Structure 1
Amino acid sequence: MKPLIFIFASLAGSLVATLCHADITVTLRGQVTQQAQYSVPDGTRLNAVLPGRVNSDSWYRGAFFTREQERLKQTGQKAGLLDDFNHLCPGEPTLSQAKQPPRNFNDWCHRVKAHLAALPVTGRKVLESGDPDVLAINLKINPLLEEGDALWYPKEPDELWLIGAGSRWNQPLPYVGGQHLREYMDAIEYSSDWRDADWVWVISPDGKISRHGVAAWNEKPWTPAPGSVLWLPVKESYLDSVPGFNASVSRWLATQALDQWTNHPE
């Protein structure tokens, strides 16, 4: 009996080892040598699937990494944001034509709500770096891959996008190297009583979010990257029922890929 017990134990051990080291599937898209799914052993880190598969014109700063478990979190995030809009603009919409300035705050609120509601749940997980060499030398920012992970490398864009109070949805601006954030504010299309003209929220192409002063009293010269989304915030006096609204919108915009702005103008 002992030999049989030993054989069964060995088989069970092999099965557990096999299950523990089963392959997982990850996807590479965009500026890569081949847009495809790859099977890699469980326990593989992101940088290990990149050598020889990333094109020379890939833009590391815009690397867009998605993970299935993030989708559940972002589904709740989206629902919460739309509920904020229900409190912020509960009245019936009286929408002006899409390419004209909104008639009033209610008009603007319903218009922006519709656009934000149309944005997909992506599952984006922000990377500290999309550079394969940087990932390789720093395990803390080099994630272990999970089943269904995907990475998209875009080309570097030559635009930024204005969204929010004082702009039509997804207004493209030519990127000018070295130009400060405040100078981009000259492109704002209309004035509104509800825009907080002292601040801008910047969603950088790597998914990181920052808030910057653009008024004479609070400006610290700062240069946004190409591919940034600039959220023109709503005044706090309009937001008593939804504190943190501008930050919530910015976090939702940060879940989106660059092609959401380049391929879907208003």
Structure 2
Amino acid sequence: MQTEKVANHIITWLTDYCKNAKMEGFVVGVSGGIDSATTSTLCAMTGLKTHVLEMPIHQAKSQVTRAQEHIEQLKERFPNVSSDVVDLTPVFEQFKKQVPDAQDNTLLDLSLANTRARLRMTTLYYFAGLHRYLVAGTGNKVEDFGVGFFTKYGDGGVDLSPIADLMKSEVYKIGAYVNVPESIMKAAPTDGLFGDSRTDEDQIGASYDELEWAMKMEAEDKEIGDFSGREKEVYKIYQRLHRANLHKITPIPVCEIPDSLR
């Protein structure tokens, strides 16, 4: 990958899209992870107003520390960057008090994790509405189009996706080029939605390097029987998640009414 040229291409794309939409800039949620750090830096490099939001909900201290380090670095480097911290923990706790008790439901933890992501999306659009900003998504290609590792109308609820055509490994290359803090470059990827230390790999069962490989194999129309051992296991994981999350990956289905019924 021609890292510098790709970074400049994204910066130009962001700038043109924002100006053509007649908007004022971008708002980005930052988590202390590589995707949000790279995205927010690319937005800042447009020279347009870029507002970064930290939105903790029972967040691990290490994630908060990395996010704060990144925000401070961005504000030192770019005069067009502003920031806010919105602690959504009380909102989340109040939400849990208002919904019916579901303690015995095995899907409770996942539903609450997705609720966290949707509270953050709502907060991003609050600031976007106040300032005529676009919400910049932080999903990469493996997450958005491979295994569907995002929350529908949570971190998937955005106006534009600057890095969604980049594999995770490519995001790291861009991140290094735009000087994302070393602490973020070295941190294990995590969505931070469960309030514990579990990583993305813990949840998925495969690393991003393995998922990239599987995504490429699928593009080459490979079959499960073509592999053995760990490769076979990873390919099964990838195909299972891809099929299960097609409802997130593909456009929302529309029930089209036949002309004969009109």
TM above 0.5, one fold? no
TM-score when normalising by structure 1: 0.27
TM-score when normalising by structure 2: 0.27
The structure having more radius of gyration, on CA atoms, is 1
Q: Is the helix fraction higher in 1 or 2?
A: 2
